[in-house]
Structure 1
Amino acid sequence: MTTLRLRPEDPADEEPVARVLAAAFARPDVATPPEVELVEDLRRSDAWIPELAMVAEYGGEVVGYALLTRVQVRTDGGAWPALALGPVAVAPHRQRIGHGAAAVQAALDAATELGERLVVVLGDPGYYRRFGFGRADRLGLTSPWSGLGEPWQALVLPPSTSDEPPPPTGEVVFPPPWSKV
């Protein structure tokens, strides 16, 4: 029986991940979707956290992808680390059967294990609500996408200790590769 395997991306996955992204984000007006270049650029940036680039593999084929990368929350007291979720992609022939949700949950679980506290995403509220995401503005988080309302979302991950302070509020600053999307 074939099962879905979830694991961090390794260097041999770069081309299969690019194929999944290209197929999932294909548009007739663009030869290569910007999400492919975004992931390539993020891999070469300080925002890259190898353990948080999660692939979903089915029958030996990479069929899904969920990426968490470093962002900063700027406050009056300085900059605090947080994560951005995206892109999330599933090969068209494997969509709507849970592979994307499994990859997202695996990435969020890995982030929790690493002691991360805050994840932001820009996406469909109906999809991301299942993971616990809610409006980011209600947590005092702003970004270039704040004006979009509900799609600008955040998730507070469980603390590793009971005395951890709540995550910061402020402006979420994305690394330069995100400016191309």
Structure 2
Amino acid sequence: MSIAIRPATGGHVAAIDALLRRAFPAPDEAMLVQRLCIDGDMVLTLVADDEESGALAGVIVYSRMTVEIGGKSIGAVALAPLAVDAGQRGQGVAEALVRASLVQLADAGAMLVFVLGDPAYYERFGFSADWARGFASPYAGDYLMALPLQGGAMPCGERGAATHARAFAQLGGNS
């Protein structure tokens, strides 16, 4: 299989929504992406297209966060969701999406990326719960991980709040 990673366009909206609804047991992630888009909080959305069939193989979405270190706001984003079509799993689609997106975010000047996920998966990209420790977040714990992008350097200072976009508070029907 050959995939092409590219920025999502308006033409991908329906396919992204359908993929998210198939990939997760509840519509929460699809609704999250809709809310992030409506609220203007999406920072980067990349898709993986199967070049042979033209079908959407996967998607990765990043949204803006408000993060403070040493009393100063730093450029930070949240990775969520990451989804791959069931028929394309195990073929490196998710890894290609993560790696391509981290390069783009670093090039755009983002300082820090947070993800709430399985450490066994995300640690391969350099994410660590240690980088996220000390930030005030309702998601704090072993599954909240962070990755400093600019040469792996974490800005100095006391860690303050790490606040996800408003749409995250509405996951699971909470509003």
Q: TM-score, normalised by structure 1?
A: 0.84
Which of 166, 173, 180 is the matching residue for 2:155? 166
Distance 1:124 1:35 in 2: 16
More displaced, 90-99 or 74-83? 74-83
Please state if 1:108 is matched with 2:107: no
Q: Which amino acid aligns with 2:161?
A: E
Further displaced range: 79-88 or 118-127: 79-88
Give, in angstroms, the shift of residue 159 of structure 1.
4.4
Match of 1:176 in 2: 166
Taking the aligned partners of 2:85 and 2:169, their CA distance within structure 1 comes to 25
* Counterpart position of 2:118: 124
Q: Is the 8 A contact 1:21 1:89 kept in 2?
A: yes
- Cα RMSD of the aligned pairs, angstroms, is 2.1
Residue in 1 that maps onto 2:22: 23
User: What secondary structure, in the 3-state scheme, does the structure 1 residue paired with 2:39 have?
Assistant: coil
Unaligned runs of 5+ in 1: none
Where structure 2 has 5 or more consecutive residues not aligned to the other structure, the ranges are none
Which contiguous aligned blocks of 4+ residues in structure 1 show a shift greater than 2 angstroms?
74-81, 136-142
Question: How many aligned residue pairs are there?
Answer: 168
**How far off is 1:17 after superposition?**
0.6
Q: Which residue of 1 aligns with 2:129?
A: 135
CA contact (8 A) 1:117 1:159 kept: no
Decide which of 153, 158, 170 is 2:145's aligned counterpart: 153
Alpha-carbon separation, structure 1, partners of 2:128 and 2:85: 26
* From 43, 48, 56, the counterpart of 1:56: 48
